[in-house]
Amino acid sequence: IKAVCMTLFLLALRAKNEHKQADELEAIMQGRGSGLHPAVCLAIRVNTFLSCSQYHKMYRTVKAVSGRQIFQPLHALRTAEKALLPGYHPFEWNPPLKNVSTNTEVGIIDGLSGLPLSVDDYPVDTIAKRFRYDAALVC
């Protein structure tokens, strides 16, 4: 089971041209590494569309089968997420811009008006949120 899961992750990473992450995972599989960086685990979770509970189940399974902590726990992913996503660090123009509000609480822009409710059985808002999230992590 372990080899199948890890091979599937390797294939998914290589298919998305995430060769650095795939190389790290391969090194761990061959016993040449201690564990994946939390940001890499977060990217794997996002790019494979795993929910938190699905990721946690995979994390527990791999740890139980291999006896090693290859993937990081969810709290480590949340910390990496806060550090990577925009808006985590407050930003102010110095000097302040004229006629521009100093309010940094922007919220999420709804760009979904007028679109159908689903695309290939995936809700559009889920796809849009995932795209924004993924794009933010890449940035």
121: phi > 0 → left, psi -120 to 50 → alpha, else beta; which? left
Most confident of 17-26, 54-63, 129-138: 54-63
CA–CA distance, 139 with 135 (Å, rounded to integer): 6
Confidence of residue 90 (pLDDT cuts 50, 70, 90): low
Query: Residue 109: what pLDDT?
Result: 47
- Whether 91 shows a pLDDT value over 80: the answer reads no
pTM score of the predicted model: 0.43
- Whether 122 shows a pLDDT value over 70: the answer reads no
Those residues with Cβ within 8 angstroms of residue 55's Cβ, 6 or more apart along the chain or in another chain: 41, 45, 71, 74, 77
CA–CA distance, 120 with 88 (Å, rounded to integer): 33
Q: What does the block give as tokens for 7?
A: 């091979």
Query: Residue 95: what pLDDT?
Result: 72
